[in-house]
Amino acid sequence: MTTSPVSDYTTEFSGKTALITGAASGIGLATARRLAAGGANVVIADYNAEGAEKAAAQLQEEGFSAAAVEVDVTRPESVEAAVTFAVDTFGGLDLAVNNAGIAGATAPTGAYDIDTYNRVVRTNLDGVFYSLRFELPVMEAAGKGGAIVNVASILGSVGFQGSPAYVAAKHGVVGLTKTAGAEYAAKGIRVNAVGPAFIDTPLLTLDKAAYDGLVALHPAGRLGTAEEVAELIAFLLSERASFISGSYHLMDGSYTAV
């Protein structure tokens, strides 16, 4: 069965509930706002409970349907509770964006701090697995299909000196996405990943020289914006992407093209 593209982006998510982790700022918040603008009920889930509440209140003031929940994606019971909160608050779970992540310190692999490595992998990879682990059964049980986007990185396809933990975790996210996408496609649940290049968000704290150095790595001559990533995520969650599943979509200003 084919599905006609939705042309009215202000109603394409009407009646749907979306859970977004790491949504108090940056890509997560931009995505929450984009989905809410499309009519979705959005659950702002973040380790920063105060930030999540503030973001949800801001969206509510803008006339959108939003709620906040604290989540620690490194703890499966916390992720399960966030999924349950979404279902209890809005009656179900149709969409999910597994975005929570941290950068971690930089150092060569042979000198990388083991505790830091474990913390980055627990957050960026295990956190995505725990999210899928509890989101997928809820969507499957509802029998209405669903769509999930995992936020990976360009570093899910290439290396980056000094960031072994982040690179390993993001490569893992791509593998999880392909596996879950294949497992659940026949059930109408689509799982995809996005691979943004360096995006100008609060996670990126650099001096001017380092910032300019990153810009120089992108043939487009600039860094991406959170809103640009949110548009790609919204597309992948929408019925416009109804035949896309188990795939990984780079958004990198040609960073990986050269």
List active site positions.
166
Q: List the structure tokens of 124.
A: 């960026």
What is the chain's Cα-based Rg? 17
User: Between the CA of residue 96 and those of 67, 168, 197, 200, what are the distances in Å?
Assistant: 14, 23, 21, 23
Residue pair 128/74 in contact by the 8 Å Cβ criterion: no
The pair phi, psi for residue 90, each rounded to 5°, is -120, 5
| Cβ neighbours of residue 128 closer than 8 Å, sequence gap 6 or more | 73, 98, 150, 172, 173, 176
* Angstrom distances, CA of residue 23 to CA of 3, 46, 69, 76: 30, 6, 10, 18
Q: Closest Cα partner for 233 from 172, 180, 177, 188?
A: 177
Q: Provide the edge-to-edge strand list for the sheet that holds 66-70.
A: 66-70, 41-46, 17-21, 95-98, 146-151, 189-196, 248-251
Q: Position 81: which residue type?
A: A
- 52, 44 in Cβ contact below 8 A? yes
Contact assessment for residue 181 and residue 190, using Cβ atoms and an 8 Å cutoff: yes
Angle at alpha carbon of residue 87, lines to 66 and 36, rounded to 5° = 25
